[in-house]
Structure 1
């Protein structure tokens, strides 16, 4: 139960941070992304602040044996860049640049009954369902070349 409450508290702090920093306001985000128009650099300070907090936290996590409220750390270890990573990053960037929302701020904006966020989250859920129905199955199926290697 303590882990659930800690996760809830962490999510609330994150959500409040998104609201205070105005990351849930699509116009603010689009202004930050508009480098050649009416550029609004204020979100660079938000990102800089996030780096100042997270960099020491990651360094501390590497020194700790295990987290306080979980059996182990879940820190990514993969370093390879593949087509799925690049295409996912491109889709994320296009969506962020067109709409001014990404998943975290969109979920926080729903709490404030923001209609664009509701549409965004519905489209996001539909995209995840389509992935599960199509691409996830093909990604799990071994390619003919890998089948030949396994048989050798």
Structure 2
């Protein structure tokens, strides 16, 4: 049942990305271009995501355990660290330059294979570099 719910959640997420045009880099870059030809349409996408997140946390507060698991898996850190800030900056720069974040980047492998594959390769290399750097720091 957990696998089915995960699959359906992923499909719903993908449909939402496509419907909201978050898979279109031109729309995303238009949203990020606040000094030029700004496209505010993604504000509705973000507001919808915040509402869903708030509803999710309300459900979590009222239930002792999730529907398809024994325990909740929630973030425990509440501090703002240098890696969080640096990662956020790098994510924003990458999103602004390419118009893709990871979800839409994966869909681009089908919609726009040249850009999508390049983005996913860069995503994998960046993740591997982070893992390598983290292992070096922990030694």
TM-score range (shorter-chain normalised) is over 0.9
The residue that corresponds to 1:91 in the other structure is 90
Structure 2: gaps of 5 or more residues: none
8 A Cα contact 1:18 1:108, kept in partner: no
The residue that corresponds to 1:127 in the other structure is 126
Q: 1:103 to 1:91 in 2, by over 3 A?
A: same
TM-score, normalization: structure 2? 0.92
TM-score, normalization: structure 1? 0.85
Misfit runs of 4+, over 2 Å: 108-115, 138-141
2:101 is the alignment partner of 1:139: no
How far off its partner does 1:48 sit? 0.9
The residue that corresponds to 1:144 in the other structure is none
8 A Cα contact 2:110 2:116, kept in partner: no
8 A Cα contact 2:109 2:117, kept in partner: yes
- Higher mean displacement: 103-112 or 11-20: 103-112
8 A Cα contact 2:31 2:39, kept in partner: yes
Matched positions, count: 139
The structure with more radius of gyration: 1
**Cα distance in 2 between the residues matched to 1:114 and 1:47:** 26
2:128 is the alignment partner of 1:107: no
8 A Cα contact 1:24 1:109, kept in partner: yes
How far off its partner does 1:100 sit? 0.7
